């Protein structure tokens, strides 16, 4: 009989009551110790994709998850069957990369900003990848790049056809867990394939299964990268958490607004046309771009009042 030993790893996939754990020694198919099932918290599962865990191995490749390390963050939604329970979709993600095409379909800052607001609300670092720059006229997306850089975001113009921007994107994602999100057709799969052959296809299979509405069997998977790190397949805006955002949260979810908050005439200023608004003044002075201010007003008008 072999000696039982322990190894640390990352849960990359779950099915039924089993988990695939990626470790320095490869993948292990794990069950969990029974005691985890008796959770005080109203969570659908005590072990979720993205968890950092310690596993005990007796007969490889079979192992048991013996410890779940504390989560740094999580993306959740209400459990489909028990709505006062929390279903964690994925834990311990480092960043959200919003994917948007410069054309076909046409670039819409409001769409990018909805994803960014959701990512900020979930406590994720955020960045933008622009795709299909081979189809755009030179200079046509320069202003977009400037808008996001001035808001403090990394934005990388890329082309899956000629490889422009792909090295920079590798630098952004290596050794991190990144969620790639964007509407279908923007070139997300092509971009992921350019990043690593086969990756786009793998994530597409999972997200298409998810889109078919089998909510209770929906699982996010982490796809390991050869350059280190993981890519999570693409949850929609709702999954990232925009449905929980209120109008009151909004100003803080625009990072470039933060230096000016608390300086308006009215302490409860909504920065939506009130007199002596410091945020609007920052727009007029050029510290906040009119493009971002406009999406702020537009997105907030679609949210629930708090
Ligand atoms: P997804 O739905 O976001 O995963 O998008 P796909 O990767 O399937 O791409 C949608 C369409 O855009 C396909 O016809 C791709 O061939 C095309 N496409 C994707 N990236 C590029 C690019 O960088 N340049 C050009 N010209 N076409 C692209
Ligand atoms: Zn204000």
d(CA 225, CA 150): 30
Q: Going by CA atoms, what residue is nearest to atom 15 of ligand 1?
A: 187
pLDDT at 214: 45
Ligand 1 centre distance from Cα of residue 259 (Å):
38
The CATH number of the domain covering residues in 250-305: 1.10.40.50
The segment(s) of the chain belonging to CATH 2.40.50.140 are 5-70
What's the chain's average pLDDT?
A: 90
Q: In this model, does residue 213 exceed pLDDT 70?
A: no
In the chain, the percentage of residues whose pLDDT exceeds 70 is 91
CATH for 5-70, options being 3.40.50.450, 2.40.50.100, 3.40.190.10, 2.40.50.140: 2.40.50.140
pLDDT at 190: 96
Over residues 206-230, the mean pLDDT reads 74
pLDDT at 209: 65
pLDDT at 38: 47
Q: In this model, does residue 136 exceed pLDDT 70?
A: yes
Instruction: Identify which ligand lies nearest to the alpha carbon of 296.
Output: 2
Burial 153-191, CB ≥16 within 10 A → b, else e: bbbbbbbbeeeebbeebbebbeebbbbbbbbeebbbbbb
pLDDT at 206: 72
Q: In this model, does residue 68 exceed pLDDT 90?
A: yes
Which CATH fold topology does 89-233 show? Rossmann fold (3.40.50)
| DSSP calls for 180-240 | EE--TTSSHHHHHHHHSTTHHHHHHHHHHHHHTT-GGG----EEE-TTSSEEE----HHHH
d(CA 63, CA 59): 7
Q: Going by CA atoms, what residue is nearest to atom 19 of ligand 1?
A: 187
Of residues 41 and 127, more confidence is placed in 127
Over residues 236-253, the mean pLDDT reads 84
| pLDDT-based confidence at residue 1 (cuts at 50, 70, 90) | low
Ligand 1 in contact with 185 (CB < 6 A)?
yes
The segment(s) of the chain belonging to CATH 3.40.50.300 are 89-233
| pLDDT-based confidence at residue 171 (cuts at 50, 70, 90) | very high
The segment(s) of the chain belonging to CATH 1.10.40.50 are 250-305
């Amino acid at each position: 009989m072999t000696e039982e030993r322990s190894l640390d790893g990352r849960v990359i996939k779950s099915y039924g009551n089993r988990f695939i754990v990626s470790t320095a020694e490869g993948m292990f198919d794990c069950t969990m110790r029974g005691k985890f099932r008796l959770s005080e918290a109203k969570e659908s599962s005590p072990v979720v994709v993205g968890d950092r865990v310690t596993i005990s191995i007796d007969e490889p490749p079979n192992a048991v998850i013996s410890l779940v390390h504390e989560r740094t963050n999580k993306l959740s939604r209400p459990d489909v069957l028990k709505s006062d329970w929390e279903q964690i979709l994925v834990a311990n993600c480092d960043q959200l990369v919003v994917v948007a095409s410069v054309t076909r379909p046409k670039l819409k800052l409001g769409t990018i900003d909805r994803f960014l607001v959701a990512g900020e609300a979930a406590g994720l670092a955020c960045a933008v990848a622009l795709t299909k720059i081979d189809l755009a006229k030179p200079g046509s997306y320069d202003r977009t790049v400037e808008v996001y850089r001035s808001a403090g975001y990394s934005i990388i113009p890329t082309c899956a056809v000629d490889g422009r921007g792909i090295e920079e994107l590798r630098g952004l994602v290596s050794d991190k867990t990144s969620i790639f999100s964007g509407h279908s057709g923007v070139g997300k799969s092509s971009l992921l394939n350019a990043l690593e052959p086969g990756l786009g296809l793998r994530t597409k299979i999972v997200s298409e299964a998810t889109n078919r509405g089998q909510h209770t069997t929906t699982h996010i998977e982490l796809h390991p990268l050869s350059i280190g790190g993981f890519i999570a397949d693409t949850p929609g805006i709702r999954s990232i958490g925009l449905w929980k955002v209120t109008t009151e949260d909004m100003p803080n979810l625009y990072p470039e607004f933060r230096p000016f908050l608390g300086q308006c005439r009215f302490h409860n200023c909504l920065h939506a046309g009130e007199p002596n608004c410091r945020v609007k003044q920052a727009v007029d002075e050029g510290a906040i771009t009119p493009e971002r201010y406009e999406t702020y007003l537009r997105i907030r008008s679609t949210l629930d009042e708090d």
